[in-house]
Structures are given as structure tokens and as C-alpha cells.
């Protein structure tokens, strides 16, 4: 039996602090309506720039005009293109990132980026498993925050790949979180892709911002496309 083809996942990263004048014109009517519901200009600008960038990137992949792309939505609100590539979008602060399955089999795919911020020391009790909390506690104090965000982005990427949102208990699976340790899924509950099926790739999109991409199906590699694209 031949091995399954490897998956290539392309990664775009771009700033969303100040949308271009042409960005709003790319949005659909429902996206524009959603943008108008934001109370603060900053949040509206970030949404517009993130969605316009998403459309430009997917236009480059699919050959469809950016303003002609039609999104369908999962029950949890995750957008998709029927018959199109698997993708996932994340944004934090003034930065957005997009992962797109670009070759081989279509994996389940998730992405998360986080700008580091102050973290309450009891937060790991609510978001990490016992094994992850033990690994975090074993880190030197100077590495604690980096370990937290490494673990948090990896877990969020896995959750987003599975499409479960908050319905899957965060302590039902384990990832490595040492900032200098290989990124891996160590445990998954029954009925989910087993740990060996997952590829988990951490990355630094910009400055101190932390990111992770997770996918299950086909192995493969991550390609970081030039910042500023699309």
C-alpha cells in the first residue's frame, strides 16, 4: 500500500491595524454588516483588514476574484469555501495569520496567534491538563509566560482544527509546551485523530507574538509566505 501524500500548509501573515481604502469594497454584504456592528473603530478596522486579506489570499489560491468568493459557515461560525481549500484564520492585536492547505490530502487544519499579555497564575488550572500543568510548573520562572503561550496557542490550534470550539474539554488532550521542546500532541481522547496523526508547528509571526499551526492528515510541512502578503 502506498503512503498517503504529504500535505503542504501555506501560511500568510499581514498587519491589520490600518485597512487599505480598497479593503471594504472586497467584503460581502453580511461581512460589511458585521463590520458596522463593532462599537470601536479599532476593532472594525482590524476586522475589515483581516477579512480583506483572507479574501485576497484565497483568491490567489483558487483563481476566483476576491470579491466573488462565497463563504459558507460551520455551526461554530468557522468559514469555509465549498469545494475549496481547507483554511483557518486567526488574529491578535494588529496582526492576522492565515493557514491554507496547499497540497496532498486535505487535512483538518487549525491556527492560533496570540500577543503575549499578563497572565493570571491560576489560569492554567482552567485551560491545561494535569500533565501540561506539571510541565509548566517545572519550567524556570523566566520561561513560565513563554511556556504558557506556547501551550495555549498549540491547544487552540488543535481545537480549531477539530472544529469543536469550547465543546471539547481542554484537559482531555495534551500538547508539549516547553518553548524549546519539540511541539507535539501527546494525548487525544477516543474518537479523535491519534497523537501520531498530528503535525504541530510553532512559529513567531512578528516580534513577541506567538503562533501555532496544527493539522491531522498527511504529515507535510509549513511554508511561511512573505509578510505583507496578501
pTM above 0.85, yes or no: yes
pLDDT of the residue at 3: 42
What are the CA-CA distances from residue 58 to residues 64, 204, 211, 214 (Å)? Answer: 8, 22, 20, 19
E-strand spans in 61-197?
72-73, 79-80, 87-92, 95-103, 108-114, 174-175, 185-187
CATH number of 30's domain = 3.90.470.20
User: Residues in the chain with pLDDT < 50?
Assistant: 1-5
Strand pairing partners for 224?
11
Write the pLDDT tens digit of every residue in 155-177. 999 999 998 766 789 999 999 99
Residue 22 gets which letter from DSSP? T
pLDDT of the residue at 93: 92
Reference 212, options 164, 171, 153; nearest CA is 153
- The answer to whether position 217 is within a domain reads yes
- The answer to whether position 228 is within a domain reads no
For the chain, what is the domain count? 1
- The answer to whether position 113 is within a domain reads yes
Write the pLDDT tens digit of every residue in 128-150. 999 999 999 999 999 999 999 99
pLDDT of the residue at 228: 66
List the domain range (segments joined by +) for residue 137: 8-223
Amino acid at each position: 500500500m502506498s503512503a498517503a501524500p504529504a500535505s503542504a500548509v501555506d501560511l500568510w501573515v499581514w498587519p491589520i491595524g490600518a485597512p487599505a481604502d480598497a479593503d471594504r469594497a472586497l467584503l460581502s454584504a453580511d461581512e460589511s454588516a458585521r463590520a458596522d456592528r463593532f462599537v470601536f473603530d479599532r476593532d472594525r478596522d482590524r476586522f475589515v483588514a483581516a477579512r480583506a486579506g483572507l479574501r485576497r489570499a484565497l483568491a490567489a489560491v483558487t483563481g476566483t476574484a476576491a470579491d466573488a468568493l462565497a463563504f459558507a459557515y460551520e455551526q461554530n461560525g468557522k468559514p469555509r469555501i465549498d469545494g475549496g481549500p481547507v483554511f483557518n484564520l486567526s488574529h491578535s492585536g494588529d496582526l492576522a495569520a492565515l493557514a491554507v492547505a496547499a497540497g496532498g490530502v486535505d487535512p483538518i487544519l487549525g491556527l492560533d496567534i496570540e500577543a503575549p499579555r499578563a497572565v493570571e497564575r491560576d489560569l492554567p488550572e482552567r485551560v491545561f491538563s494535569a500533565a501540561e500543568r506539571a510541565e509548566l510548573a517545572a519550567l524556570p520562572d523566566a520561561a513560565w509566560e513563554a511556556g504558557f503561550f506556547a501551550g495555549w496557542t498549540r491547544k487552540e490550534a488543535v481545537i480549531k482544527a477539530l472544529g469543536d470550539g469550547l465543546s471539547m474539554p481542554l484537559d482531555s488532550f495534551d500538547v508539549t509546551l516547553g518553548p524549546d521542546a519539540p511541539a507535539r500532541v501527546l494525548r487525544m481522547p477516543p474518537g479523535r485523530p491519534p497523537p501520531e496523526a498530528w503535525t504541530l508547528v510553532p512559529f513567531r509571526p512578528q516580534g513577541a507574538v506567538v503562533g501555532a499551526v496544527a493539522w491531522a492528515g498527511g504529515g507535510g510541512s509549513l511554508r511561511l509566505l512573505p509578510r505583507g502578503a496578501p
